[in-house]
Amino acid sequence: MMYAMWSGVSVDRERSRARLRRTMSMHLWLLLGVTLLSACGRWGVAQSPAVHYDEARRTFRMDAAGTTYVLGINQQKQLQALYWGKRLGSRDQFPAAVQSPPAAAFDQPITTTPQEFVGWGGGLYVEPDLKITFPDGNRDLALQYLSHTIQGQLLRIVLKDVSREVYVTLEYTMDAETGILRRAAEIQNRTNASFTIEQVSAATWNLPRGTDYRLRYLTGRWAAEWTVQERAVQPGKTVLESRRGTTGAQNNPWFAIDRLGTGGPETGSVWFGALGWSGSWQITVEQDLLQQVRVSGGPNSFDFGYRLGKGETFKTPPFYGGFSQEGIGGASRLLHRFEVDTLLPHAPKPTLRPVLYNSWEATEFRVDEAGQMALAEKAATIGVERFVMDDGWFGQRKDDHAGLGDWYVNKEKFPNGLKPLIDKVHGLHMDFGLWVEPEMVNPDSDLYRKHPDWVLNFPGRPRTEARNQLVLNLARPDVRAYVLGFLDKLLTENDIAFLKWDYNRNWSEPGWSAVAPDDEKRVYVDFIRNLYSILEELRAKHPRVEIESCSGGGSRVDLGIMHLTDEVWTSDNTDAYDRLLIQNGFTYAYTPAVMMAWVTDSPTWVNQRTLSLEYRFLSSMQGSLGIGANLNKWGPEDFATAKTMVAHYKAIRETVQRGSLYRLITPEHESEHSVTESVARDGSAAVVFAFLHSSRELYPFPRIYLQGLDADATYTVASLNGKLATDTPERASGAYWMSRGVDVLLKGDFQAAAFTLERQSAAQK
Ligand code: GLA
């Protein structure tokens, strides 16, 4: 606790305070600590995380929430990882860092010592954090501690090569509420010539030595994103990556590691992390020859090469990492909280997601003024708050063969521009959103005919089309200006509240012939930086516009894009049963507050599966609710059901989008059941969703044991769709709901139940 007092001081001031501290008696400090703590409590001030430097032992220590992180400078001036885990006693002093001994002549200390950020040099055989080729052919880099500063919650440590003017500044910031550390590195070239960065990571995380680790990670593909995978961490490397130019669905830049057999979904130690980068990336999980586990992450080193000019600085994206003692469930909740309170554009108070209608599955490319107005009228009757017109409104866009790149309103479909439709939508008390895919071009477009050189390509080589489109090279300043220009114009000329920003293919032939051959590979970095800067500029100029990151579903979801967008499209697969698994996987890393989930038609286009409208709603209500069904095909009963469900959703949405999520029964491993619970942050309410795949052999649905409630408080229960067991008491203690549990009456195939719990005030008890 005492370390809290050391935040906000420079190193010099900290040193003089350290001297002062030694002269003061322990009693005085204790008194001061207690006074400060009670003051924090009284004023509701969150304790700021502390960075403490122990000058005698040359160790840095950071504490926040339930986590402590320690690193030290060893005798060789290497920055050595010392501890990452459960918060330690405030007076615990960490022994100084000591380089590991060599493991025989074959493995020198450089390779056996767990380091925070190690250059490729000497005899390093583990994954390097930085690999440089100098113009004279030298490729050896030996980084040593040079200096550090502590400013508030920010620790910056400068490393320098033993002889060359290469400086690396490592940044650490620990989030007060969650203990999640943000780490990033800055490479500075102060030599007299350019050099090429061939590999660079944002950070390496070192875990306590162990052989019993299990890695969780996320895999997928189009329409099947967010599958949770598990594998034992064994000697060797597991590389999670994207070589696609963008985040991709094949792997997502997130990991979680726990110790096998030491805990359940809500217990045990979990170390987790996620990259804030939307380009090609890699996370390497490596168990070395001394059974030490390291996790490095950053831009993908495959086909990488960034020429850093004299005097230039390269900043890596951030790599976030955290620790939970409450199992994988606790790890997810920490990340969710961090995303909502710290990372999202309007954090700590991002707006609750409005209930949205999207035209895509109803009308696909066949959008026009009359058709969209008719849909809008129907959407308004069920309580929709935002009407979004999807693909098809621009250029010569009749299908996916033409039009991308030509961002003018199609005159045949909208003879009077977008205004009549937007006015109509506003008149129905909804705001208006529009689909765009700014980074793409169809060869059949005016833009491509005018600028065939604007796409990623190697001159004279084939250009691979996917969905009949090519990728614009956003790294080019002229392409950046074009994209920013048309989006700015669109938002200035039309009253648009929301953009669905799509991205429907991955890279191929990533050439950039306009720059020198040695600089071509900068495209992997400059493209993404321009994407981010366009989003930043648009947000600054149009602060009320919200943006969704979509990539044919969930192919561009990461903490980098989430910092600049308000929500993400989870998957094009809108089959409400498939969605249980998809959404379950998503929540391992990302908050339901951004997880868009639409109710669409049945039988679903995905599996031709028939599902009740109620089931489809309850599946989508676990995230941020949208409706994507063809309302022209609905009957009065459907509208009535939808109206009721939308009203229910509005009542629970704060709990779903801001609360703590417990995956009570996961649909993983072919489970017949799936149950989630969201508990309001202050414990005042909870909502539970339960789904049955198929009944078997007379077995009842498993009893649901709630979590995270206030054990002593009284909660009243209310069913959303009448499926609670008849013996369920109307009210009972939190302890009752958590220990005795609740039964729901689900029998048959594809059945769903939902209920809420509300805490009674003391007067009501
Ligand atoms: C992608 C998106 C869909 C829809 C189409 C439009 O596939 O994920 O939701 O917007 O593009 O072409």
Q: How confident is the model at residue 459, as a pLDDT?
A: 97
Question: How many separate domains does the chain show?
Answer: 2
Q: How far apart are CA 576 and CA 596, in angstroms?
A: 13
- CB burial of 198-215 (b: ≥16 within 10 Å; e: otherwise) equals bbbbbbbbbbeeeeebbb
The whole-angstrom separation of Cα 672 and Cα 193 is 63
* pLDDT for res 49: 64
| Rounded (10°) angle between helices 613-620 and 576-589 | 10
Bridge-based pairing of strands 319-324 and 270-275 is antiparallel
Q: Which amino acid residue places its CA nearest to atom 7 of ligand 1?
A: 552
Asked whether the predicted pLDDT for residue 3 surpasses 80, the reply is no
pLDDT at residue 21 is higher than 90: no
Mean pLDDT of the chain: 93
Is residue 502 in contact with ligand 1, taking CB distance under 6 Å? yes
Please enumerate in sequence order all residues whose Cβ is within 8 A of that of 665, keeping only pairs 6 or more positions apart, or say none: 671, 673, 674, 675, 690, 702, 704
pLDDT of residue 264: 79
CATH number of the domain that residue 68 is part of: 2.70.98.60
Cβ burial, residue 568 (10 Å; 0-12/13-18/19+)? buried
Q: Given this model, what pLDDT does residue 23 score?
A: 39
With a cut of 80, say whether residue 721 has pLDDT above it. yes
Q: Could you check whether the bond before residue 348 is cis, i.e. omega within 30 degrees of 0?
A: yes
391 lines ligand 1 (CB under 6 A): yes
- Residue 552 maps to a domain: no
Our measurement of the distance from residue 311's CA atom to the centroid of its chain's CA atoms, rounded to an integer in Å, reads 33
* Alpha carbons 446 and 60: distance in angstroms, whole number: 58
pLDDT given at position 440: 98
**Structural domain includes residue 426:** no
Q: Are 86 and 80 in contact (CB under 8 A)?
A: no
Residue 523 lies in a domain: no
**Ligand 1 and 504: CB distance under 6 A:** yes
From 63, 391, 406, 502, the catalytic residue: 502
Amino acid at 327: G
Q: Is residue 659 part of a domain?
A: no
CATH code at position 747:
2.60.40.1180
pLDDT digits (tens, 9 = 90+) for 125-148: 999 999 999 999 999 999 999 999
What range defines the domain where residue 701 resides? 664-759
For ligand 1, atom 11, name the residue with the nearest CA: 552
In a domain, 260, yes or no: yes
63, 288, 572, 578: the active-site residue: 572
C-alpha 314 to ligand 1 mean position (Å): 35
Residue 488: active-site member: no
Answer yes or no: is pLDDT of 8 > 70: no
Q: Which pLDDT band, with edges at 50, 70 and 90, does 763 fall under?
A: low
Q: What is the pLDDT of residue 44?
A: 33
Phi/psi region, residue 236 (left: phi>0; alpha: psi -120 to 50; beta: rest), is left
If pLDDT is split at 50, 70 and 90, which confidence band does 11 have? very low
Q: Which of 550, 579, 600 to mutate to test the pocket of ligand 1 (most atoms within 8 A of CB)?
A: 550
Query: Ligand 1: which residue has its CA nearest to atom 1?
Result: 552
Pocket-testing residue among 404, 505, 572, ligand 1, by greatest number of atoms within 8 A of Cβ? 572
pLDDT score of 271 more than 80: yes
Secondary structure letter of residue 744 according to DSSP: B
Chosen domain end from 343, 366, 398: 343
Ligand 1: does its nearest atom lie under 6 Å from the Cβ of 360? yes
User: In angstroms, rounded to a whole number, what is the distance separating the alpha carbons of residues 448 and 499?
Assistant: 23
- Going by their DSSP bridges, the two strands 293-299 and 281-287 should be labelled as antiparallel
Final residue of a domain: which of 328, 343, 358? Answer: 343
Digit-coded pLDDT (tens) for 505-519: 999 999 999 999 999
Distance of alpha carbon 137 from its chain centroid, rounded? 39
Question: CA–CA separation, 315 vs 168, rounded Å?
Answer: 10
pLDDT at 762: 72
Ligand 1: distance of its center to the CA of 572 in Å? 7
Cα–ligand 1 centroid distance for 628 (angstroms): 12
Indicate if the alpha-carbon torsion angle 723, 725, 727, 731 is positive or negative.
Answer: negative
| Predicted pLDDT at 284 | 98
Residue 13 has pLDDT above 50, yes or no: no
Q: Among 284, 314, 343, which residue terminates a domain?
A: 343
pLDDT digits (tens, 9 = 90+) for 290-301: 999 999 999 999
CA distance 255 to 166: 31
Residue 270, domain member (yes or no): yes
Coil, strand or helix at 665: strand
Task: Please tell me the predicted confidence (pLDDT) of residue 539.
Answer: 98
Residue 754 in any domain: the answer is: yes
Mean pLDDT for 451-474 is 98
Of 398, 399, 502, 557, the one to substitute when testing ligand 1's pocket (max ligand atoms within 8 A of C-beta) is: 502
Does residue 71 surpass a pLDDT of 60? Answer: yes
Is 569 a pocket residue for ligand 1 (Cβ < 6 Å)? yes
Cα 622 from Cα 587, distance rounded (Å): 10
- Among 389, 390, 556, which is best to mutate for testing ligand 1, by the most ligand atoms less than 8 A from CB? 390
* pTM for this prediction: 0.93
The mean pLDDT value for 346-370 works out to 97
What is the end-to-end Cα distance of the chain in Å, rounded?
37
Q: What's residue 765's pLDDT?
A: 57
Helix then strand then coil, in percent of the chain rounded to 5, is: 25, 30, 45
261: confidence class by pLDDT, cuts 50, 70, 90: confident
Residue carrying the six token digits 């060789």: 76
The alpha-helical segments, DSSP class H, found in 607-751 are 613-620, 636-658, 734-739
621 Cα–ligand 1 center, Å: 21
User: Is residue 551, in this structure, part of any structural domain at all?
Assistant: no
Question: Does the annotation mark 572 as catalytic?
Answer: yes
Residue whose Cα lies nearest atom 3 of ligand 1: it is 552
Cβ atoms 226, 583 nearer than 8 A? yes
Note whether 371 and 216 are within 8 A (CB). Answer: no
pLDDT, mean of residues 644-661 = 98
Residue 25 has pLDDT above 50, yes or no: no
How many Cβ atoms from other residues are within 10 Å of residue 22's Cβ? Answer: 7
